[in-house]
Amino acid sequence: MKTRQQESRRVQRLQCAVHNYDWGLPASASRVASLHGLNSRVSVDPRKPYAELWMGTHDSGPSFLDSNKGLGDSNRVAALTSLKSWVLQNPGVLGDKVLENWGCDLPFLFKVLSVGKALSIQAHPDKELAAILHRTHPNIYKDANHKPEMALAITDFEALCGFISLEELKDVVSSVPEVGELIGSSNKDRILHFNVKDGQEKFKPLLHEVFTKLMSADKDIVAEVISKVKNRLQSQNKVNLLTDKELLVLRLEEQFPGDVGVISAFFFNYVRLKPGEALYIGANEPHAYLSGECIECMATSDNVVRAGLTPKLLDVQTLCSMLTYKQGYPEILEGISVNPFTKRYIPPFDEFEVDHCGLPQGGSTAFPAVPGPSIFLVMAGQGTMRTDISEEIIAEGDVFFAPADCEIQLTAKTELQIYRAGINSNFFL
């Protein structure tokens, strides 16, 4: 009979939560849907969009230990223990330094996203603001944590992220008359005459003022202006090729007609990731995912402040007041090879990093023991996962929690694609 200590050192198979948000992909085209069906062993609903698979301990979508695989569905669900409660009972699985720094909970939330249409123009608050928002509006802002995040593309993936440079913004206000109409001729002139040599820091107050004016504009006026943009670009498209950003604006207008987020897209960097490229987003940075599928990891939080491209509650004044107004194209991570099969993506956040392991048929590799917990997702293929005390047959859709100080040996029966989320390696240095 295994002791409680031995059980706490085993990898734990997880049953994970799914979210059917409106912006998700149809079940037939969604990686989230297929993974969810395999992970939970239930049929997906072809009538629903499938948007996010959550792997972690957040109360809005907790994972459960799937230790009763042989039971019928109703008995199994009734018998499941949440990963969060199991960690509370076995805090040593987090490792001493993680426990000391973040307490008795998993500090990261691991996800798969299937994006069929644009998510909201949004930002995530830093810890100080998150605590205030949670205290004053707990029904909207569900926790008091910050939410730095990273998206690792598994298909071609599109996003808006951060403000364009001053040079690009000058071009926008001079070439997109509708932007000038919303921000006013005085603000347009101030941008055009601002000396680039004066630097980004001096420009931030003006960008803050102009962007707030744009996002706070009267809805009827915004709808009228966006109609003008649409008509102008459609006419222009018959004679000249439109830019990628202009084509995107037309696409956003189809998805969210009359929404101020359509025209605000001119202010943001249009980022297109290839599979294997990653984008990280810090606190108080504006962004919106647009299309494609990705692995996402973040601090354990679900705090989102929205200001456009959504039917959900908007909090324009909070968003405009919280942004950093940093300009320039975001850094794209391509991963660092840690062995012939594995790349590691390390954002500048303590809470998490992500590994991608592509293992050929018959191949083997090891994930060395680390002083913090990990979650493994089998994206594709079949094989085995071994530790010093157990062996698991693994296949697409399987998700596992691995305790701290647990070495993982993988062997591929067919080509394996594995993603791992864990504490940022730099945290332990």
Whether residue 370 contacts residue 423, with contact meaning beta carbons closer than 8 Å, is answered with yes
Annotated catalytic residue 306: yes
Can you tell me the distance from the alpha carbon of 384 to that of 379, in angstroms, rounded to the nearest whole number? 14
CB atoms under 10 Å from CB of 185, counted, come to 9
CA dist 285 to 100, 138, 414, Å? 29, 22, 41
In the chain, % helix, strand, coil (3-state, to 5) comes to 35, 30, 35
Check 31, 306, 344, 420 and give the catalytic one: 306
Integer Cα distance of 356 and 346 in angstroms: 12
Query: What is the number of alpha carbons within 13 Å of residue 402 lying toward its C-beta?
Result: 30
Q: Residue 18 and residue 38: Cα distance in Å, rounded?
A: 12
Q: Which residues pair with 233 in a beta bridge?
A: none
Q: Do residues 225 and 198 touch, judged by C-beta distance below 8 A?
A: no
DSSP letter, residue 107: S
429 token code pair: 């240095």
CA pair distance 226, 212, nearest whole angstrom: 17
- Residues at the binding site for Zn(2+) are 122, 124, 149, 287
- Sequential DSSP letters for 285-343: --EEEEEEEEEEEEES----EEEESSSS---HHHHHHH----BSPPPEE--EEEETTEE
Bind-site residues: 122, 124, 149, 287
Query: Which residues have a catalytic role annotated?
Result: 306
